[in-house]
Amino acid sequence: MPINKYEVCDGIKWIDVMNPSQPEMQQLSDEYNLNHHAVSDCMQPQHLPKYELVEDVHFLILRFFSKDPGKPIATIQELTNKIAIFYTKRFIITIHKSEAAFLNDVRTKHLDTNKCNSVSDLLIKIIWHCLETFDGPVTSLSEKLDIYENEVMIKKTSADLTQGLYMIKHEASVCHKVLMLMQEPINHIQPDRGDTSSVQDMKDQYLKMLTLYGQVLDDVNNLMNLYMSLSAKRTNEVMRVLTVFSVFFMPLTFIVGVYGMNFKYMPELSWRFGYPLVMIFMAIVTVIIYFWFKKKRWL
């Protein structure tokens, strides 16, 4: 269990713990007087975002983007990872099962430069950078969506296009749900005096991510509907052509069928001009159907 301890300011500590075992977590719980129910939730990697206040210890769970590239269709647990945070005015403890690179950014950009002056200030920075992990993926989804949109508009259809649109929709939907669930813990953050602007920046970042993923969802739904409409239109055009051909040949097939019957005493069978007159009659029927279609504007 790697444990990193950092001095924030005035005796305030930041304890960052990665992949603790149950006994190690129990020891940490005893040392900092953490609620055992919250500790139990902390050890569940699939837990969704939440917030609790037990005695004087705040406990919240967030999720940050950490997609497994080997799984194009991923669940919430496969697309994001959990980070649990315990904090009071004296300390802040962050616990995560896997590497969280954004915590290194918090440390180098804010802690090492002495820009954090309270636990709430550090907490706000952690949440802001946690939300920032969703920024790159949504930009990538938007770029892919632009490519697929060009393919749809030039009427380039394929199974890969349909699958690609579905994958974009799935990832955007999962991330949007995670962000919606993170609204509760974010709204419970109470800033210290002087941290009001930082809280507003954090909430602006949250609203930005929520809006971007919502926009991607709207765009991909609209594009899928457009794609289905264009596909239906192309199918209708093919059916219209086939219908036109069938209407042209239906009366001709009827005439040929009548004169193809093998009865001995059929009229006009022995008539010298029977064949050319039937052909002329078939041509006249074809011309009549053609002008009827033109009048109805079906051609």
* Residue 148, pLDDT score: 87
Strand, helix or coil for residue 166: helix
Q: Give the residue carrying structure tokens 């029977």.
A: 274
- 3-state helix/strand/coil string of 54-79: ECCEEEEEEEEECCCCCCCCCCHHHH
> What is the DSSP-derived secondary structure letter of residue 19?
S
Of 164, 276, 259, which is closest to residue 220 (Cα–Cα)?
164
**Looking at domain 3-232, does it have CATH number 3.30.1330.60?**
no
**Is 111 within 8 Å of 84 (Cβ atoms)?**
no
**Looking at domain 238-295, does it have CATH number 1.20.58.340?**
yes
Tell me, rounded to whole angstroms, the distance of Cα 62 from its chain centroid.
Answer: 19
The domain ranges of the chain are: 3-232, 238-295
* Residue 244, pLDDT score: 83
* Residue 157, pLDDT score: 65
Strand, helix or coil for residue 93: strand
In the chain, which residues have pLDDT < 50?
Answer: none
- Number of residues written out for the chain: 299
> What is the DSSP-derived secondary structure letter of residue 99?
-
CA 213, CA 192: separation in Å to the nearest integer? 31
CA 140, CA 117: separation in Å to the nearest integer? 35
Same fold, 3-232 and 238-295: no
- CA of 88: how far to CAs of 55, 106, 120, 189, in Å? 10, 19, 9, 12
